[in-house]
Amino acid sequence: MSAHAASSNSHDHSHDHDDHHHNPGFLKKYFFSTDHKTIGLQYGITALLFLAFGFYLMMVMRWSIAYPHQPLPDWMGCFLTDNWKARWLVDGKVSGETYNMFGAMHGTIMVFLGIVPLGFGAFGNYVTPLQIGAVDMAFPKLNMMSYWIYLAGGLLMCASFFMESGAAKSGWTNYSPLAGFADGQIVNQWLAGQTQWLIGLVLLITSSLLGAVNFITTIINFRARGMTWMRLPFFVWAMLVTGFLLLLAFPPLEAAGIMQLMDRVAHSSFFMPTGLFTKSEGLADLSGGGSPLLFQHLFWFLGHPEVYVLLLPAIACVAEIIPVNTRKPLWGYKSMVYSVLILGFLSFIVWAHHMYMTGMGDAVSTFFQTTTVLISVPSVVIITALLISLWGGSIRFTPPMMWACAFIPMFGIGGLTGLPLAFNLVGLHLHDTYYVIGHFHYVVAPGILFGLFAGVHHWYPKITGRYTSRFLNHLHFWPSLICMNVLFFPMLVQGMAGFHRRWYNGGDAYLAKAADSANVFGVIVRDYIDLNIVMSYGAWILAVAQIPFIINVLFAWKKGRKVENDNPWDATTLEWATPTPPGHGNFTFDVAVYRGPYEYSRPDCDEDYFPQWQAPNKTGEESNEKETH
């Protein structure tokens, strides 16, 4: 099936998709646009803003951990209004309740409002249709709706900071029964932060559902002529799997969210056990009979695939950037594709490794321990293929490539520190400690975020027609790389020493001040508590290190060095065949694909790259290529 046939049947009916003939107004062009590229940028900018907000929450938390008895410094508190401080700070110090609020919202914002929209929403939206040679997404209006629902959900969650109840405060996992009775003093439960969190969550799930349906349909039906499955760039495969994960893993959490919402507003007891007694409410006036374990199951049924929803877009970016900058094909493309499919499947059956300590039973634990160990196989295949792809390449250390190169070892540390956690027995010691925090932050922050930074620099010339500054990138990259490790490596150490992840005062309450104290744990805490200050300095400097990035991205928009042509990196995939920046409808010629996505340094070509869209020359050099339809 070809694009010819597609356009031939489009004349017999009229509908209003072709709005590129007349100039759309400002609002329609930049806000209510149905163009996948504009929506991708909207996602990207919004997600980066949320990431910055999440980062800010983290800094306040790190202050409380490092200096639990000192007032929040002015430069940190200046974002908060006086009335807010009067309500939520005690003599300028962060109280436990406020810390919980920040902790819950930091996790929620980073995962649901930051990384997923940046990876899937921004890069997926911008790049996927371009890479498969499509004019747009299959459902442009749904795509727009998806963004606006995401924004509404995100703002709703964050707005609850300013309500009487404050924002959600039961961890980003929102475990019942804690989340069930939090904010119980608020009579109108619809106006409680904890409830707003749930409503926001349901909106976010709706948004990602629309996105996922759109992506998968687009990838199945909108591939250009000749774009067979095994000619898809790895990026597209990763997006396809991510789409399926979002499509199938999110609904059970939506079910859990709706049930928890019922628990809050209709006073049901889905997750509230019999005889629940709390300090704030006394014996709960509820029927009881519910199961807190059920919430955890439903949550982690999403929660684990969610990890791969975060990860795959980053790996996808890196897998595109490495071949371009090593000038050689991606090593083991097919095994990477199969691995990512297996990874997607396995990610649905590992969720309960988050729940070893719930007493769900030995047999269940053993099963999930086994599948968890299994899932490391495809992950390792992918990361190894990326690593081997570097071998023997003539590497160009462009800004995207620096980030991509840093991604591999950083994600490697994140992945390898996860292996011990797969085991029940180790879970006994490490569950809910800073080791776990260190592990998944290594995956998400220096891992995934680095991958996404790589993506920003890689596609920036396509989006704007200008390069980002190499100098500013160095200023961003090196401090970030160092500070990430200063920030997260001590967590692994503290975790093994037994530091609990939810200590708002960094262990101060458990401390034994005398060296010969009989409080053995207190002595251990004392030995490692000063690492808190080291990590906090890591965080402050990391914050400063992001400023060059912001300057770079804003400044290069108008002042960066202009690209020489539409394919500045000499890349092979279809997004580089479009004008710069691509207009509405993307391509100016009838797209056809003749070969695989990573044809670099072919001995039979003059150039060291052979784009997918370039028709084979007459000498029969493409004779080994199969006939395509």
Residues 398-457 that bind other proteins (CB under 8 A): none
Residues 194 and 182: their CA atoms lie apart, in Å, by: 7
DSSP 109: I
DSSP 357: G
Residue 603 makes contact with other proteins by CB under 8 A: no
Residue 135 makes contact with other proteins by CB under 8 A: yes
Residue 181 makes contact with other proteins by CB under 8 A: no
- Nearest CB to other proteins, comparing residues 98 and 473: 98
Nearest Cα residue to 117 out of 203, 57, 40: 40
Residue 500 makes contact with other proteins by CB under 8 A: no
Residues 609 and 588: their CA atoms lie apart, in Å, by: 22
CB contact at 8 A, 165 and 139: no
| Preceding omega of 461 cis (within 30 degrees of 0) | no
Applying the rule CB under 8 A, the residues between 260 and 279 that interact with other proteins are 262, 266-270, 274
> What is the sign of the dihedral through the CA atoms of 125, 128, 130 and 133?
negative
Of 12-20, 152-160, 376-384, 467-475, the window that binds other proteins (rule: CB under 8 A) is 12-20
# binding residues, other proteins (CB under 8 A)? 91
Q: Token pair 């500013």 is at which residue?
A: 472
Applying the rule CB under 8 A, the residues between 80 and 109 that interact with other proteins are 82-83, 85-87, 89, 91-93
Q: How far is the CB of 213 from other proteins (least distance, A)?
A: 5
Which pair of tokens denotes residue 45? 């900018």
Nearest Cα residue to 229 out of 217, 242, 220: 220
Choice from 233, 252, 323, 451 touching other proteins (CB under 8 A):
252
- Nearest CB to other proteins, comparing residues 12 and 362: 12
Which pair of tokens denotes residue 195? 């409830």
Residues in contact with other proteins, shown as a per-residue x/- string from 277 to 316 under the rule CB under 8 A: -----x--xxxxxxx-xx--xx--x---------------
Of 183-191, 372-380, 461-469, 596-604, the window that binds other proteins (rule: CB under 8 A) is 183-191
> Which residues neighbour 187 within 8 Å (Cβ) at sequence distance 6 or greater?
none
Nearest Cα residue to 557 out of 474, 470, 475, 461: 461
> Which residues neighbour 98 within 8 Å (Cβ) at sequence distance 6 or greater?
88, 89, 166
- Nearest CB to other proteins, comparing residues 515 and 518: 515
Surface-to-core class of residue 485, CB atoms within 10 Å of its CB (0-12 exposed, 13-18 middle, 19+ buried):
middle
- Nearest CB to other proteins, comparing residues 327 and 500: 500
Residue 15 makes contact with other proteins by CB under 8 A: yes
Applying the rule CB under 8 A, the residues between 148 and 177 that interact with other proteins are 164
Choice from 139, 148, 521, 557 touching other proteins (CB under 8 A):
139
CB contact at 8 A, 473 and 552: yes
Of 258-266, 335-343, 494-502, 537-545, the window that binds other proteins (rule: CB under 8 A) is 258-266
Residue 517 makes contact with other proteins by CB under 8 A: no
CB contact at 8 A, 319 and 330: yes
CB contact at 8 A, 41 and 122: yes
Residue 383 makes contact with other proteins by CB under 8 A: no
Q: Phi and psi (nearest 5°) for 592?
A: -140, 150
Q: Mark residue 432 as left, alpha or beta (left: phi above 0; alpha: psi -120 to 50; beta: remaining).
A: left
Residue 29 makes contact with other proteins by CB under 8 A: no
Nearest Cα residue to 36 out of 151, 119, 136: 136
Applying the rule CB under 8 A, the residues between 518 and 547 that interact with other proteins are 526, 529-530, 533
DSSP state string for 157-195: HHHGGGSTT-B--STTTT-TTHHHHTTTT-SSGGGSHHH
Residue 394 makes contact with other proteins by CB under 8 A: no
Of 96-104, 219-227, 232-240, 558-566, the window that binds other proteins (rule: CB under 8 A) is 219-227
Of 1-9, 324-332, 478-486, 605-613, the window that binds other proteins (rule: CB under 8 A) is 1-9
Applying the rule CB under 8 A, the residues between 185 and 214 that interact with other proteins are 185-188, 209, 212-214
- Nearest CB to other proteins, comparing residues 270 and 435: 270
Choice from 22, 23, 26, 69 touching other proteins (CB under 8 A):
69
Helix boundaries (H) for 446-530: 450-464, 470-496, 520-528
Of 242-250, 325-333, 356-364, 603-611, the window that binds other proteins (rule: CB under 8 A) is 242-250
Q: Token pair 């998709």 is at which residue?
A: 17
Report how far Cα 237 is from the mean position of its chain's Cα atoms: 17
Residue 240 makes contact with other proteins by CB under 8 A: no
Choice from 24, 96, 171, 251 touching other proteins (CB under 8 A):
251
Q: How far is the CB of 38 from other proteins (least distance, A)?
A: 13
- Nearest CB to other proteins, comparing residues 287 and 370: 287
- Four-CA torsion 432, 435, 438, 439, nearest 10 degrees: -90
Q: How far is the CB of 160 from other proteins (least distance, A)?
A: 15
- Nearest CB to other proteins, comparing residues 255 and 541: 255
